[in-house]
Structure 1
Amino acid sequence: MTRPSDPGTDHSRTVPLDVETIRGTYEAVLWDASTAPVPDVTGLLLGHVQLLVPELDQELPRMRGEWRDCAVHVLTRTRALLADDIGRTDTWALATQCRALLTLLCQHSRPADATTAAIVTVVA
């Protein structure tokens, strides 16, 4: 399956997003069948989320309809999670929010031709 274009290619950012590192971090939590905690993964996820929230905030004015509604929901839920004292039991929730933030950014900021190519690749 082809992944959407990465928003890290936008040169208006002061620091490009390292999309593969962010994905690797949340996937290590969400898809790891073991119950053993990954050292420092909560701190990594927290850093990723703190980076992604303002990025999605910048995209929000350009979003319309269900995309915007979903982004507002994800941002609201993420801010509530960040306002709580994040403990090790919240690592999975933080990984879920990180995935949602990155997915919204990637889906919304890719060009139309990349959308079509991704759909054709998945269906084919």
Structure 2
Amino acid sequence: MTKEKGAFRTIGELSKELSIKPHILRYWEDQFAMLTPLKRAGSRRHYRPDDVAMVKTINRLLNEEGYTIKGARKFLAARRRRPEMVEDAPQPASAILPLFANTHEDNGLMLAELKSIRDQLTDALSAA
């Protein structure tokens, strides 16, 4: 039996739907403050449609795009501050964040900045 799109999901249902073990979902609740399913009697979790979308986004960031948990938190926080980035269909970070743009000019600027930082660190180590 398939639930409607807007129906609440239990942790077991969401786990099966997304092939994510329940203990991983509980861990993500600890790591991502914005993931807050309803807890009913006996601490039973019920994921609202917004929670399901958040879990799907977290899963995509961690398991498909290779983000760390810290990086995924930063990405989601930036997305919350910039609502124009919120869309129904998830997009890869390279399509959303200008930091990941692969233009030659951007790469040259980043390389110059990194070299400057390297030189400053070398100078600081030499002085120490």
TM-score by length of 1: 0.32
Rg (Cα) greater in structure: 2
TM-score by length of 2: 0.31
Identify, as 1 or 2, the structure richer in strand. 2
Higher relative contact order (CA 8 A, sep 6+): 1
